[in-house]
Amino acid sequence: MMQKPTPVDEEYLFDGRAIVSETDLKGVITFANRKFCEISGYTVNELIGEPHNIIRHPDMPKAAFAQMWQTIQSGALWHGLVKNLRKDGRYYWVDTEVTPIYDENGKVKGYMAARKPASRKNIEETAALYQKMIEQEQ
């Protein structure tokens, strides 16, 4: 019998540090800090060159990411809660900020995401909203 995926203890795992990653314009990972590797369960070599959605949890509505892409491609900062899937099948929630990275000519060359543990209250509220969004997508 398959066990139900369980959450990880985000506060313990983060140990006061943030997950940081960078992608190119298409969302392919170009940088992953040590904390990202530790929490996701992937090695840096498994992450670099992969689409960032390698850690996308199936409970995440497509509309949430569509809104994120629209925001960051317009040059603005996006902030939201994201449920991510670890390599071992467990999951974790993060309070996420994604911002464009600019080259020396002021042109967007990629995106940087910084994540910290999400609060229980925010997770509960957001999980309910995301469930409604997923139901509407079907």
First to last CA, the chain: 28
Res 13: pLDDT: 54
Helices 120-137 and 62-73, packing angle to 10 deg: 100
Mind spelling out the 3-state secondary structure of 83-138? EEECCCCCEEEEEEEEEEEECCCCCEEEEEEEEEECCHHHHHHHHHHHHHHHHHHC
Res 1: pLDDT: 44
**Of residues 8, 4, 2, the one with CA closest to residue 117:** 8
Res 3: pLDDT: 46
Res 115: pLDDT: 94
pTM value is 0.85
Mean pLDDT by runs of 10 across the 138 residues of the chain is 51 67 97 94 97 95 94 95 95 95 94 93 92 90
Q: Which residue has the tokens 């949430």?
A: 64
**Do the Cβ atoms of 11 and 17 come closer than 8 Å?**
no
**Of residues 25, 6, 7, 4, the one with CA closest to residue 94:** 7
> Domain 13-137 falls in which CATH fold?
Beta-Lactamase (3.30.450)
